[in-house]
Amino acid sequence: MSNIFFRRFCLIFQFIFLIILPVGCGVESSPPPTPTLSALAIKGKQVFSAECARCHAVSDDTVIVGPSLAGIADRAGERVEGVTAEGYLLQSIVAPNRYVVDGYSELMPADLGKKLTGEDVDAVVAYLLTLQDGE
């Protein structure tokens, strides 16, 4: 009889500590963290680091040669009327002298769009679209 009582006590004890107590103490099981960048944006960050970071910073108020791209995802869609952020960034890569930012010269390599594959360009655009103000 005491063996059955002990088993029941253990089951109740486990129930309290595994189920009820964590909920009552505000301990929640959280879902695993989601990646902050998609696979395409991760590839874009790699391409950006290899091809673009020599001239463009992604931190605020940092100018290397070209303008900082910090917050570009928020500004790109407002740069040229009727052109989306994605379209602006795409054109800025494949035809870099089309939209030159005031105060900067036409220094981007004109053949950059030909040097990169279409997948590389899409990846860089995806990465740049993650660069929002305050991040």
Q: Which amino acid is at 122?
A: D
Q: What is the pLDDT of residue 12?
A: 59
If asked whether residues 73 and 100 sit together in one domain, one would say yes
Domain count, the chain: 2
Q: How wide is the angle at C-alpha 37 spanned by C-alphas 31 and 42, nearest 5°?
A: 135
pLDDT one digit per residue (tens) for the chain, 135 residues? 555 655 665 555 565 555 554 554 555 566 665 557 899 999 999 999 999 999 999 998 889 999 999 999 999 999 999 999 999 999 999 998 888 889 998 888 888 888 999 999 999 999 999 998 755
- Counting Cα atoms < 13 Å in the Cβ hemisphere of 60 gives 5
If asked whether residues 55 and 107 sit together in one domain, one would say yes
Say if CB 111 and CB 95 are below 8 A apart: no
If asked whether residues 52 and 96 sit together in one domain, one would say yes
Domain with 81 in it: 39-128
pTM summary value? 0.71
In a domain, 133, yes or no: no
Q: At what angle do helices 118-128 and 85-94 cross, to 10 degrees?
A: 130
26: left (phi over 0), alpha (psi -120 to 50) or beta: left
Q: What is the pLDDT of residue 21?
A: 47
Say if CB 87 and CB 98 are below 8 A apart: no
Q: What is the pLDDT of residue 71?
A: 94
If asked whether residues 4 and 51 sit together in one domain, one would say no
